[in-house]
Chain A
Amino acid sequence: AQKITQTQPGMFVQEKEAVTLDCTYDTSDPSYGLFWYKQPSSGEMIFLIYQGSYDQQNATEGRYSLNFQKARKSANLVISASQLGDSAMYFCAMREGLVNDMRFGAGTRLTVKP
């Protein structure tokens, strides 16, 4: 069964506008962590933001924030004031408390238009 679902294969956003990238997850483990990574065309994986299942507040890191809706099992990434350099693939990932691996979604390709 798919653990992480990213339903948007591609997204476009105008420079300086905000954009939301969707991520839903499936787990029965009460302890889990959710991560977002950015993969630019150069190929490296860059960590952006983390949200723990017990965290009361939504995580924020600079222009990145995570809209965590636990009951809906969604962890959407919000990028404010988009920049051209934000154009990349974005992956949502989850680690569950009792497993060793991190499961990744299929990714969303974001293109920022000037």
Chain B
Amino acid sequence: NAGVMQNPRHLVRRRGQEARLRCSPMKGHSHVYWYRQLPEEGLKFMVYLQKENIIDESGMPKERFSAEFPKEGPSILRIQQVVRGDSAAYFCASSPKHLLTDTQYFGPGTRLTVL
């Protein structure tokens, strides 16, 4: 059973470009969470999605950031017009349900560098 897949693992963008990060949850998992980790810090929640629905985007910046989890295909985190402050590691996690006891399993992360 493959784990959570994220690609690319490393992404370099120039200021003003778009960054598109992909996440394929574990098989059988329909709940996806995105987190951001700045250097030497813990992870910060960004958004929680189920198939075709954004459930909670309270941690996502209001502008330039968007997320989707289509019926077919991976979840996508999109950052438009990137700035240097967007440089971070972005982690996706998935769980089979949304119960309190459900462990969130993390992907390897995408390390975004904005030049």
Residues of A within 8 A of B (CB): 4, 31-33, 35, 37, 42-47, 50, 52, 91, 93, 95, 97, 100-107
Contact = CB atoms under 8 A, between A and B. Distances in A.
B interface residue count range (under 10 / 10 to 19 / 20 to 34 / 35 or more): 20 to 34
Given A50-B103, A101-B59, A43 B43 contact: no
Contacts, number: 66
A33 B100 contact: yes
B56 A33 contact: no
Contact of B42 (A47, A95, A101, A104): A104
A43 B40 CA distance: 12
Given A100-B56, A101-B56, A95 B100 contact: yes
Interface in B21-63: 33, 35, 40-45, 48, 55-56, 58-59
A103 B109 CA distance: 17
Contacts of B59: 101
